[in-house]
């Protein structure tokens, strides 16, 4: 299928985990993909995607200057960004009373401010062209909160509010903004959790298994594709039924 032919998708945090699966899925759907990552591997991963015309770009999304410069670089190389997937994210978990200012700031800067810088940077072009798709990768903990993750949950909740606000501002200009809220997905981000935490999580998933990065990527593909043309401001939970 090539429902995303002629699209240029910018995917942050695209070298690993969920972002890599999203990049792969969108490339399979015919899109050219700009993989953006703090890691230099962005370039080699982009070169491995199916199809041609992809690119890898190094950028720290928590840095506003790097973000505005990034969009210029991507657009010069690949063309106007028609799909933005804000996927890059980090955790710095700790119970509230032990949470350092730097752990709060870095999680908010990467998981919430980064998406804001990039949405703002692509919005004008999308509005002018009267089309564009934005997907923000939030988390179920942005809906429920989570012990030991007050910084991360606050950032992910903020990302949902950002998504809904952007959806309201840009809908009349043909730009859609939606969020996905993954549950417990098997990636490097979660493999480091203690075994008892992983077992406890599994007990809470009615589907009886962890999600895969591909489970999330397929929902993103739907949201940026023609089948979701009338869907905006929504949060799609991808968690095997953990949060209902
Ligand atoms: P990974 O840690 O596996 O991958 C995240 C990628 O983002 C890495 O390549 C990472 O680079 C990159 N990245 C981190 N910080 C920045 C930055 N400042 N600028 C650019 N790139 C950066 O994470 P996942 O694939 O597990 O998660 C992807 C998204 O999904 C995140 O937003 C996460 O919060 C969300 N999510 C994940 C869940 C899960 O269970 N895995 C559940 C719910 C939501 P580096 O390796 O150098 O850090």
Look at residue 83 and give its three-state secondary structure: strand
Give residue 189's Cα distance to chain centre.
14
pLDDT of residue 173: 98
pTM as predicted? 0.98
pLDDT of residue 151: 98
Q: Bridge-partner residues for 56, per DSSP?
A: 35
d(CA 131, CA 116): 19
* Nearest CA, atom 7, ligand 1: 13
Separation of 90 CA from ligand 1 center, angstroms?
5
Give the containing element (helix H, strand E) for 86.
strand 83-86
Separation of 44 CA from ligand 1 center, angstroms?
18
pLDDT of residue 1: 64
d(CA 162, CA 118): 12
Ligand 1 near 240 CB (within 6 A): no
Closest residue by Cα to residue 220 from 31, 85, 89, 120: 85
Q: Is residue 75 exposed (0-12), middle (13-18) or buried (19+ Cβ within 10 Å)?
A: middle
Separation of 173 CA from ligand 1 center, angstroms?
30
Ligand 1 near 61 CB (within 6 A): yes
pLDDT of residue 193: 82
pLDDT of residue 198: 87
- Report, as ranges of residue numbers, the positions in the chain whose pLDDT lies below 70: 1
Residue 98 φ/ψ, nearest 5 degrees: -105, 0
Instruction: Tell me the Cα Rg of the chain.
Output: 17
């Amino acid at each position: 299928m090539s429902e995303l032919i002629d699209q240029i998708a910018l995917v942050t945090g695209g070298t690993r985990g969920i972002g890599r699966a999203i990049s792969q899925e969108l490339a399979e759907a015919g899109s050219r993909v700009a993989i953006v990552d703090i890691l230099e591997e962005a370039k080699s991963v982009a070169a491995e995607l199916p199809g041609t015309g992809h690119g890898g770009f190094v950028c720290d999304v928590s840095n506003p200057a790097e973000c505005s410069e990034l969009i210029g670089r991507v657009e010069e190389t690949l063309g106007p960004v028609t799909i933005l997937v804000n996927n890059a994210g980090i955790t710095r978990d700790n119970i509230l009373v032990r949470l350092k200012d730097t752990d709060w700031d870095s999680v908010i800067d990467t998981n919430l401010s980064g998406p804001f810088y990039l949405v703002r940077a692509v919005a004008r072009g999308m509005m002018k062209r009267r089309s564009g798709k934005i997907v923000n990768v939030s988390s179920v903990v942005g809906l429920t909160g989570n012990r030991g993750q007050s910084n991360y949950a606050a950032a992910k909740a903020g990302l949902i509010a950002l998504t809904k606000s952007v959806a309201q501002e840009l809908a009349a200009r043909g730009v859609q903004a939606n969020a996905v809220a993954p549950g417990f997905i098997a990636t490097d981000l979660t493999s480091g959790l203690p075994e008892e935490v992983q077992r406890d999580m599994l007990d809470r998933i009615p589907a009886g298994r962890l999600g895969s990065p591909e489970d999330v990527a397929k929902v993103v593909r739907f949201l940026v594709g023609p089948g979701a043309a009338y869907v905006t401001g929504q949060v799609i939970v991808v968690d095997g039924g953990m949060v209902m």
